Amino acid sequence: MDKQVNSLDSELRNRAKKVVPGGMWGHMNAAALPEGYPQFFARGSGSRLWDVDGNEFVDFMCSWGPIILGHHHPEVDEAAQKQLARGDCLNGPSESMVELAELLVEMLPHATWAQFQKNGSDAMTTAATISRAGTGRRKILVASGAYHGAVPWCSPSLLGVTAEDRAHIVQYEYNDVESLNRAADQARGDLAGIIASAFKHDYGRDQCLPTREFAKAARAAADAADAALIVDDVRAGFRLNLGGSWEAVGVRPDLSAWSKSIANGFALAAVTGNERFRDATSKLFTTGSFWCSAVSMAAAVATLTALRRDNAIEHMERLGGMLRDGLGSLSKTHGLPIRQTGPVQMPMVLFEDDPDNRKGFAFCSATVKRGIYFHPLHNMFLSAAHTTNDIERALDAAEHGFRAVRDSLTNSAGVSRN
Ligand code: PMP
């Protein structure tokens, strides 16, 4: 598929530049992506996405995680529309809040309560605050390089952030028990919480599942200090295990943060927790103008119900496995080694020997032109709407992607010789 030259996308980018600083903020700025990626989208359906110029893509980013059942899932949309007809933003929550909290408590073995917000940053900030409120202490352990949101206490950018904003954050290395224990020691007497992502899914790095040893050590360090173990399940939540991502390693957190896929694209986040932190949570003043919107809660009930009923995780694992196997054999055929890490339903694909990401960018630039929306540096996402045919189309495009990488290497070798 060739992109149109005088596209609505480029016209909108030009207009946006005048009225939106930088044209677009944050991680969804298409300027950070390889050539050929659109900035503006018109619609989505199932596993497909259309940009404003009518180009169709098989979507392997799933809106950066939220779309877990597929775009415009009919049951989720119906539940949302029914609620919208009754009311969304009222003077308090609707019945759907209680229904959703009950469903989460039923699904998540670690939790006896739930509280709702809008974004993952809200949920993580709330969880950290609950840990401090519940312990009366200040220090929070955070793995270096981990993303927990775009607010001063944890933003990956230091622009506009003061040292005071980070004063009580102590870093450790994910999956490194010794460094975790060292950090806990450093916070001794003042430890409020230990934050760990569901797995290590740092931008542009190989992904890594938590080892049992690490998860148990995090639980033990929190217990020893009577502090909170907080699992950030914002990104991985409901894609790995419907009971919470750390069920796989047999460790239950005190607090978990959720967002992204909880309502299949409707804006919602949650903190779930156990009895130890119920009282502190009930006393904490926390709120937001839209935190009780009923539509997203009705959508979440429909999403979680469908995920459970349809064995969606199994489906995503099967298709993610097909994609991983297919990319693995293409990489061998082309003699271009790649590293595929993390759970297959949240794939990270990085080229070996690619310090400036040139290979990854050449690959994705070629595949996006063939209607496959991959990401060169961020983990990707499968959804329950992906089909075998989507994976075959993706692998077909990947064949061209590997050839493009080869060509780019030949060309740059030619350039450097001249
Ligand atoms: N935690 C994790 C692990 C995330 O991946 C994200 C978002 N990428 C957040 C927190 C913050 O979520 P949000 O962007 O919805 O504020």
List residues bridging with 139 in a β-sheet.
191
Q: Where are the domains of the chain?
A: 8-64+311-417, 74-309
| Integer angstrom CA distances of residue 12 from 20, 49, 130 | 11, 18, 42
Q: Which of 61, 117, 124, 348 to mutate to test the pocket of ligand 1 (most atoms within 8 A of CB)?
A: 124
Backbone dihedral region for residue 170 (phi beyond 0: left; psi -120 to 50: alpha; all else: beta): beta
Q: Which long-range contacts (CB under 8 A, 24 or more apart) does 355-359 make?
A: 357/204, 358/408, 358/412, 359/405, 359/408, 359/409
Q: How far is the CA of 238 from the centre of ligand 1 (A)?
A: 14
What does 79-109 look like in DSSP terms, one character per residue? HHHHHHHH-SS-SS--HHHHHHHHHHHHH-T
Q: pTM of the prediction?
A: 0.97
CA trace torsion 275, 101, 103, 44 (10° rounding): -130
Say which amino acid occupies 122.
D
Q: 74-86 vs 294-309: helix axis angle to the nearest 10?
A: 150
Q: How far is the CA of 294 from the centre of ligand 1 (A)?
A: 22
Q: Is the CB of 149 under 6 A from ligand 1?
A: yes
Q: Which atom of ligand 1 is nearest to the CA of 119?
A: 15
Backbone dihedral region for residue 238 (phi beyond 0: left; psi -120 to 50: alpha; all else: beta): left
What does 295-339 look like in DSSP terms, one character per residue? HHHHHHHHHHHHHHHTTHHHHHHHHHHHHHHHHHHHHHHTT--EE
Q: Is the CB of 259 under 6 A from ligand 1?
A: yes
Give the separation between CA 351 and CA 348, rounded to whole angstroms: 10
pLDDT in tens, the chain (418 residues): 444 457 999 999 999 999 999 999 999 999 999 999 999 999 999 999 999 999 999 999 999 999 999 999 999 999 999 999 999 999 999 999 999 999 999 999 999 999 999 999 999 999 999 999 999 999 999 999 999 999 999 999 999 999 999 999 999 999 999 999 999 999 999 999 999 999 999 999 999 999 999 999 999 999 999 999 999 999 999 999 999 999 999 999 999 999 999 999 999 999 999 999 999 999 999 999 999 999 999 999 999 999 999 999 999 999 999 999 999 999 999 999 999 999 999 999 999 999 999 999 999 999 999 999 999 999 999 999 999 999 999 999 999 999 999 999 988 775 443 3
Give the separation between CA 281 and CA 256, rounded to whole angstroms: 13
Q: Is the CB of 71 under 6 A from ligand 1?
A: no
What was the pLDDT predicted at 412?
78
Q: Is the CB of 119 under 6 A from ligand 1?
A: yes
Looking at ligand 1, which residue's alpha carbon is closest to its atom 14? 120
Q: How far is the CA of 148 from the centre of ligand 1 (A)?
A: 5
What was the pLDDT predicted at 414?
57
Under CATH, which number does the domain 74-309 receive? 3.40.640.10
Give the separation between CA 356 and CA 365, rounded to whole angstroms: 15
Q: Is the CB of 237 under 6 A from ligand 1?
A: no
Is it true that 8-64+311-417 and 74-309 share their CATH fold?
A: no
Q: Which residues contact 370 (CB under 8 A, 6 or more apart)?
A: 1, 396, 397, 400
Range 8-64+311-417 has CATH code 3.30.230.10: no
Q: How far is the CA of 48 from the centre of ligand 1 (A)?
A: 23
Q: Is the CB of 147 under 6 A from ligand 1?
A: yes
Q: Is the CB of 197 under 6 A from ligand 1?
A: yes
With tokens 């996006």, the residue in question is 368
Q: Is the CB of 331 under 6 A from ligand 1?
A: no
Q: Is the CB of 120 under 6 A from ligand 1?
A: yes
| CA-closest candidate to residue 249, choices 207, 215, 275 | 215
Q: How far is the CA of 119 from the centre of ligand 1 (A)?
A: 7
